[in-house]
Amino acid sequence: MDEDFIPVKKSQISLFKSFPLFYFSKENEPLLYKKEGERIKASRIKDEQFPDLFIRASDRENASHALYKTMNAHLAETIFSQGLVPIRQALATLVQEALEGPLNVSGQMLPETIEILFQGYNENKTLVESLAKLSGSSDKLVEHTVNILSLTMQFCTFHHYAEAKVKTLGVSAILHDIGCTQLSSEINHTKTKLSDAQFKEVQTHTVKGHRIIKESTCFEPEIAMVALTHHEKLDGSGYPKGIVDISEEAELIGLINSYEPLAYRGTSRHADPQKPYNSLQILKNEVMAGKYSKQMFVNFCSCLTR
Ligand SMILES: [Fe+2]
Ligand SMILES: [Fe+2]
């Protein structure tokens, strides 16, 4: 097979409307099957009446982003149904795509780690309710949360963390921005740069999140601490308090929290998502300025570049 093409899963074919698809002739020549923007008939998709199809390797990154967005929307939709089982399934699909799909969708999470996350939370519904609250607040928040969870799980898996630690970090990742559900919907949905007053309000999500998690007694204190301190920096330049003594969990989630918008969504300074290497370069400058731990940064880089 030609190196410049990547196979597309049959089950995902309808997600590739925006991309030209190719098939290979008997002579192993790549031929155009459909142009960019063209749809394959629903009946054909249903009966799988199409050859093995491929995208150009050069479309990989954009296709991966499109696919990931669709799956995230599916996850958000599922969360609305508020059932533990569908959420688990949606997360498991996301994970499976990340592990098996040729497009390398969203970091790498293992299905077992999701099982670990939900163990013990089956009885009281707090975690599920929190996810439902998140999804009701804004799509951006859901996308961000799933990305943080995915990267955190990748970190834990790579460094062979013990189950208890994986669970604390995973739940911390899910809940770190839970305080945002108490911000005004105007702030959660704004697409323009925040005013100073709005940014001040955004900062309160740390204190609000801390309170929400503490009030529901089923979470470990470390998880509430992450919500409170994930925007603190080791040089004292963070918020809400400007402290420099930060727990390992909050340091990790804080670092990933800074990496995620760079790599996945773009920031006010870097409008488009950056390649992982560029995102890490930008983050490295922050590490060199003393905001994050060098060791934590090195450990994070190693889990991304395996
Ligand atoms: Fe945050
Ligand atoms: Fe965050």
Ligand 1 midpoint to CA 232 (Å): 10
**pLDDT digits over 17-71, tens only?**
889 999 999 999 999 999 998 888 888 888 888 999 999 988 887 887 777 666 6
Residue 31 CA to ligand 2 center (angstroms) comes to: 44
Taking the C-alpha atoms of residue 106 and residue 78, their distance in angstroms, rounded to an integer, is 18
185 in the same domain as 103: yes
61 C-alpha to center of ligand 2: Å? 24
Tell me: do 170 and 40 sit in the same domain: no
- Are 89 and 12 in the same domain? no
The pLDDT value given to residue 89: 61
Among the listed residues 252, 245, 256, 140, the one whose alpha carbon sits nearest the alpha carbon of residue 202: 140
Counting ligands in written order, the one closest to the CA of 147 is 2
Domain contains 260: yes
Q: Which residue has the higher pLDDT, 301 or 190?
A: 301
Q: 276 C-alpha to center of ligand 1: Å?
A: 21
How distant, in Å, are the alpha carbons of 31, 50, 59, 120 from that of 55? 11, 14, 7, 42
Q: CA 108 → CA 146, 160, 172, 229, distances in Å? A: 12, 14, 18, 26
Residue 75 domain-assigned?
no
The model's pLDDT over 133-157, given as tens digits with 9 standing for 90+, comes to 776 667 678 778 878 887 888 888 7
119 plus 226 within the same structural domain: yes
pLDDT digits (tens, 9 = 90+) for 193-203: 889 999 999 99
Strand 5-7 and strand 30-34: the pairing is: unpaired
Q: β-pairing, 5-7 with 54-56?
A: antiparallel
Is the omega angle on the peptide bond into residue 86 within 30 degrees of 0, that is, cis? no
pLDDT at 211 over 90: yes
20 CA from centroid of ligand 2 (Å): 35
In terms of domains, do 50 and 189 share one? no
Q: What is the 204 CA–ligand 1 centroid distance (Å)?
A: 9
- The full length of the chain comes to 306
Q: pLDDT digit string (tens) for 99-137?
A: 445 554 444 344 445 555 666 554 446 666 776 677 666
CATH of the domain at 157: 1.10.3210.10
Q: Crossing angle for the helix pair 221-229 and 248-260, nearest 10 degrees?
A: 50
Looking at the structure, tell me whether residues 51 and 106 fall in a common domain: no
Q: Distance from the CA of 14 to the center of ligand 2, in angstroms?
A: 32
Residues 149 and 19 in one domain: no
Give the other-Cβ count within 10 Å of 40's Cβ: 17
Cα of 37 from ligand 2 centre, angstroms: 34
User: What residue numbers bound the domain in which 272 lies?
Assistant: 83-304
Same domain, 43 and 192: no
Q: Are residues 49 and 172 in the same domain?
A: no
Cα–ligand 1 centroid distance for 121 (angstroms): 23
Within 8 A by CB and 6+ apart from 262, the residues are 270, 273, 274, 278, 279, 282, 283
Which ligand has an atom closest to residue 258 CA? 2
> Are the C-beta atoms of 153 and 105 separated by less than 8 Å?
no
Tally of domains in the chain: 2
Q: Give the residue-averaged pLDDT of 225-239.
A: 98
Is residue 296, in this structure, part of any structural domain at all? yes
Domain assignment present for 71: no
CB atoms within 10 A of CB 269: 7
For residue 256, which ligand has an atom nearest its CA?
Answer: 2
Written as one letter, the residue type at 7 is P
The whole-model pTM stands at 0.68
**Do 275 and 136 reside in the same domain of the chain?**
yes
Q: How far is the CA of 99 from the centre of ligand 2 (A)?
A: 24
Domain assignment of residue 143, yes or no: yes
* 17 and 134 inside one domain: no
Distance 57 CA to ligand 1 centre (A): 35
Residues 242 and 104 placed together within one structural domain of the fold? yes
Nearest to 182 by CA among 231, 241, 134: 134
| Residues within 5 Å of ion ligand 1, judged at the Cβ atom | 177
Is residue 86 a contact partner of residue 52, using CB atoms and an 8 Å limit?
no
Distance 179 CA to ligand 2 centre (A): 10
